[in-house]
Structure 1
Amino acid sequence: MRDTNNRQPVRRVVICGGGTAGWMAAAGISKVLGKLLDIKLIESEEIGTVGVGEATIPTLMNFHNVLEINEQEFMAETQATFKLGISFESWRDVKQDYIHSFGTTGIDHWTAGFQHFWHKGVERGVASDYGDYCLELKASLENRFAHLPNNGMNYAYHLDASRYAKYLRRLSEPRGVQRIEGKIVSYAKHDNGDVRSVTLASGQVIEGDLFIDCTGFRALLIGDAMQEDVEDWSQWLFCDRAIAVQTSSVGDAVPLTRSMAHQAGWQWRIPLQHRVGNGIVYSSRHLDEETAHKQLLANVEGKTLIEPRVIKFKPCQRRNTWKGNVVAIGLSSGFLEPIESTSIHLIQRSVIRLMQSFPSDGIQQADIDEYNAQCNREIDHIRDFIILHYHVNNRTDAQFWIDAREMRIPESLKHRIDLFKETGRVFRIPNELFAENSWIQVMLGQGIMPKSHHQTADLMADEELKAFLGGIKGRIDRTVVQLPTHQAYVERYCGRADAGAKAA
């Protein structure tokens, strides 16, 4: 417990590590508090970044609004494309696919969600696929996109993570962030256990009041200096390896992240303007590295641009990501595989949360406790959502999927599954990342069909229900057919990919 009677104002912020996490922290803090703080960011060109977080979710726009980022400039600089959702291929069973889109589906009633009316429509034979009632999902299937009035299309981005870090650096340095080149080799601590300074290989010593640990899996400060351990989640999430590779583009970029399940995990494909990001995620208990490497390269399109990189990880989370005067952001705080593209979101939420409770007048234990509690609630919900994808499956072709189906899951997730299975109801905990429609799309996609629906849906006569469902579907179909192709829209909105690549 900290001594709150001897608080020192926080004026010197030291961000240890660059990459996406470090420069997002630098950009956010300098934009909001840069005039009040001395902000230093230490990174070494010798240390590479993991750099596979190239798919995002719509919440990134909140962060960009804070930074007052121009979307067209950002997309040109990072060679970004638009993203309407994730295509989950062979997750439920081999060759059974579905899409988790970013949109809402249908129209809710105050007593019951749209899924209840859709379920009744299925019973009466007047409803088509659940996804037919979601604009974003239908547009993604047709490879179409456009900005619509009143934010009528929910979307995110595919982006080049390395270029994104460089773009944020260009925003941050004019706002007072001082970048220091060097590798951190040691640290020194105060008598109370807080970090006093870090020392670079050059011998330079950098002191600070607040240290932000963005050192990746190394976790130099939160793990080594502060001795904050991780909670291992590998009993639920078996994957512990990834191999990443970049390939040339051979076709039009689609507004979907592809997540293709295989016998011991899954493979991603992320289309950018100038290239495609690929990778395979797998369980080393179920698949060896050589086979995974061959499988990855056998299932990519285009010429490989880099040598495949192997990434070893543990699915885990530190229960205290803020300890003493150290705040861990990014991979140093823990890791969840990017099935739902949450890596950059978690960085963003940590940065915003820190700015909201920034200890300008001194670090207080109450702030630390609340920050950690909020982080834990959010990560637990995301963890459960990811486990859902694995646990609810019908695959019998590989032991990996059988083991995932038969494992004992967290009680919090079991309750959500049972509630939907029995009643068709879902709930959203306040400030939880994934909304009701996300849970519904994945649970239906993975094969859970509710046994019942809300009685409100029974009040609609057959013709009324048919007209209600048909009206929604018709409006979506008419909108989608008028949208330009995603590729054409990106080229018009951002400039052609070849021109943007040369400019960057």
Structure 2
Amino acid sequence: MSAQPVSKIVIVGGGTAGWMAAAGLSRVLAGPRAPTITLVESEAIGTVGVGEATIPQIIGFNKLLGLDENEFVRETHATYKLGIEFVDWLRPGHSYIHPFGTYGLDMLGIEFHHFWLRGRELGDATELDAYSIAAAAGAAGKFYWPQSNNPKSPLSKLAYAFQFDASRYARFLRKRAEQQGVVREEGKVVEVMQDAESGFVTGVRLEDNRLIEGELFLDCSGFRSLLLGQALDVPFEDWSKWLPCDRAVAVPCTLAGEHQPLTRSTARPAGWQWRIPLQHRIGNGHVYSSAHMDQEAATDLLLANLDGDPLAEPNHLRFTAGHRERFWDRNVIGLGLASGFLEPLESTAIHLVQSSIARLLAYFPTTAFGGAEIDRFNAETAREYLDIRDFLVLHYKASERDDSEFWRYFRHLDPPEGLAEKIELFRSSGRVIREHEELFTEASWLAVMAGQGIEPQSYHPVAALLDDAETLQRLDHIRQVVAHAVSQMPTQDHFLAQQGSAIDASERLTR
């Protein structure tokens, strides 16, 4: 009565996406009747991995894999991450942090930030960062694990992620996946075999003429999109109108400067620069619009703004913001860059791979490849890309900068409809809405809208029910509690050493 289960899975491409899929699927799809999983990659083809920053959802993926966190941090030379610091985005000289976790303490049944807005009206000019344990600890270079068993502590509100070496991460996951039965085949794909009638992919032929056959194929071939884009010819939906950055140059450098558990994004005349501090080095990159800056100028700007000495030649990347019109077509699912690209402004690349793996497991097919499940997978994935796109556009649109043609472009750009509604609601009443359990929470939208200078004209009327003195006293008390908690936390470096997850000093690349 039922169709046959999938017995052969082929993953085309390694790197972060390929080995995440291999490790995740082999962990979950275990047992005597588990499908075989083969990953095809070529050492001759480089990966994009230039250093990765993540968001807290990766904690769930690590738990799924059964990883020991200390081993994971040590093997990937990772640091902890409590949020993203945005420098010069509102205007030159201004900065704010988009922290993980929440702000303050909700009171009288409404969100804390309405009382913060009330306090500003009463003359308390304290920035929002002071009410976030993640923002305050990140700025102070401190870290400690969340304390969920102590709800009265600000540490119960803490969330965290990681910053790690992408190449080391892929190798770490490869080891796990191979221990779980995944077979790696070395070789370059030169031909994609398809069924003449259905167009389903039946196998991939390698340079040495070997044929790797399968029933379900995961395209993790990066920007080349060998299966989804080239073989199946799935069109690409171009979002460069809203996100015109289409180039990046990346280079690692030696350790120097601050070593906070934060990713930093600094606005530049035609884009922005990332800084990702790892245990052994710093990852750096400059994302820019080629319509507003040429490659040489972009590279020079990056190299002039490194904290340490360059450790490699600059790596140049080209991309277009957007995604394939279908992420799952016939028996092929695109993961990572093979399915779409959104600039790493909010560190969402690994999450998009992770969420697609989870979605695949939820709608895992039989060999009948039911259309209803495929349609649902595609709709949910497209919605997630759209939500993230709008959040990214917010950073550019809500800015006072007009010091270059690039920034003036955004001043005249009409934002996507959903984003326009969110901005207007926050501006008029301080209310933050979160649609359909979208990736970014109310706290995230608040962080960026407030950080980017959107000033609400009012706040929730319930916030006015407290008298003025009590409002200011409560705000002061929350700040004191947060500051005290941060003062008791160890520095990130001390925490890493304490947990046994610090790398050997000889591995640290310093000036």
Question: TM-score by structure 2 length?
Answer: 0.95
String of CA shifts for 1:235-294, please: whole Å, max 9, x gaps.
011100000101111255211101011100000110000111001000000001110111
| Distance of 2:146 and 2:434 partners within structure 1 | 27
Residue by residue over 1:332-357, the C-alpha shift from the partner in whole angstroms, topping out at 9 and shown as x without a partner, is 00100000000001011011111111
Corresponding residue number in structure 2 for 1:15: 11
Instruction: Give the partner amino acid of 1:186.
Output: E
Structure 1's unaligned 5+ residue stretches are: none
Name the aligned partner's letter for residue 382 of structure 2.
N
Task: After TM superposition, list the pairs within 5 Å mapping 1:283-302 onto structure 2.
Answer: 283-302=289-308
**CA shift at 1:228, angstroms?**
0.6
Cα displacement (A) at 1:362 = 3.5
Q: Does 1:70 align with 2:68?
A: yes
- Using the TM superposition, give the Cα deviation of residue 492 of structure 1 relative to its aligned residue in structure 2, in angstroms: 2.5
Contact 1:187 1:199 in 2 (8 A): yes
Checking the alignment, whether the CA contact within 8 Å between 1:79 and 1:500 is kept in structure 2 is no
Residue 87 of structure 1 and its aligned partner are, at CA, apart by 0.6
Question: Would you say the 8 A contact 1:53–1:343 is kept in 2?
Answer: no
1:310 aligned counterpart, secondary structure = strand
Structure 2, unmatched stretches of 5+, are 149-154
Deviation at 1:499, TM superposition (A): 5.4
Q: 1:93 is paired with a residue of what secondary structure? A: coil
Q: Spell out, residue by residue over 1:193-252, the C-alpha distance to the aligned partner (whole angstroms, 9 max, x if none).
A: 110111000100011000000000000100111111111000011100000101111255
**Root mean square deviation, CA, Å:** 1.5
Is residue 183 of structure 1 aligned with residue 165 of structure 2? no
Aligned pairs (5 A) from 1:145-156: 145-150=143-148, 152=156, 153-156=158-161
Q: How much has 1:497 moved relative to structure 2?
A: 2.7
Aligned to 2:349: 343
User: Does the Cα contact within 8 Å between 2:257 and 2:307 map onto a contact in 1?
Assistant: no
Which residue of structure 1 lines up, in the alignment, with residue 152 of structure 2?
Answer: none
Cα distance 1:144–1:310, how it changes in 2: closer, same or farther (>3 A)? same
- Contact between 1:120 and 1:453, CA under 8 Å: does it hold in 2? yes
- Alignment of structure 1 residues 67-466 onto 2, 5 Å: 67-109=65-107, 111-126=109-124, 128-150=126-148, 152=156, 153-190=158-195, 191-251=197-257, 253-360=259-366, 362-466=368-472
Once the 2 structures are TM-superposed, how far is the Cα of residue 430 of structure 1 from its aligned partner?
Answer: 2.6
Identity %: 48
**Secondary structure at the counterpart of residue 491 of structure 1:** helix
Poorly superposed stretches of 4+, deviation over 6 Å: none
Greater shift, 44-53 or 358-367, is seen at: 358-367
* Cα distance per residue 1:83-117 (max 9 Å; x no partner): 11111000011111111010200122464321111
The amino acid of 1:316's aligned partner reads G
CA distance in 2, matches of 1:252, 1:458: 41
Asked if the contact 1:7–1:364 (Cα under 8 Å) also holds between the matched residues in 2, the reply is: no
Distance 2:258 2:497 in 1: 11
Q: Give the one of 55, 58, 70 matched to 1:57.
A: 55
What SS does structure 1 have at the residue aligned with 2:52?
Answer: coil
| Cα distance per residue 1:344-391 (max 9 Å; x no partner) | 010110111111111146411111001011101111110000000011
Question: Which whole-Å CA distance do the structure 1 matches of 2:501 and 2:140 have between them?
Answer: 22
Distance 1:178 1:501, change over 3 A: farther
| Alpha-carbon distance in structure 2 between the residues aligned to 1:413 and 1:251 | 36
Q: Which moved more, 1:490-499 or 1:420-429?
A: 490-499
CA shift, 1:495, in A, is 4.3
Q: Which residue identity does 1:497 align to in structure 2?
A: I
Opposite residue 91 of structure 1, the aligned amino acid is: W
Paired AA for residue 227 in structure 2: L
- Count of aligned positions: 498
Q: Could you give the per-residue CA deviations for residues 9-65 of structure 1, whole angstroms, max 9, x where no partner exists?
A: 311000000000000000110000033111000000000000035100000001111
In structure 2, relative to structure 1, the CA distance for the partners of 1:90 and 1:13 (3 Å cut) is: same
Q: Distance in 1 between matches of 2:181 and 2:294?
A: 47
Residue 396 of structure 1: how far off its partner (Å): 1.9
**Do the aligned partners of 2:140 and 2:260 also contact (CA within 8 Å) in 1?**
no
Q: Distance in 2 between matches of 1:369 and 1:160?
A: 35
Q: 1:369, 1:157 → 2: CA distance? A: 33
CA 1:211/1:500 → structure 2, altered by over 3 Å: closer, same or farther? farther
Distance in structure 1 (CA, Å) of the matches to 2:68 and 2:287: 33
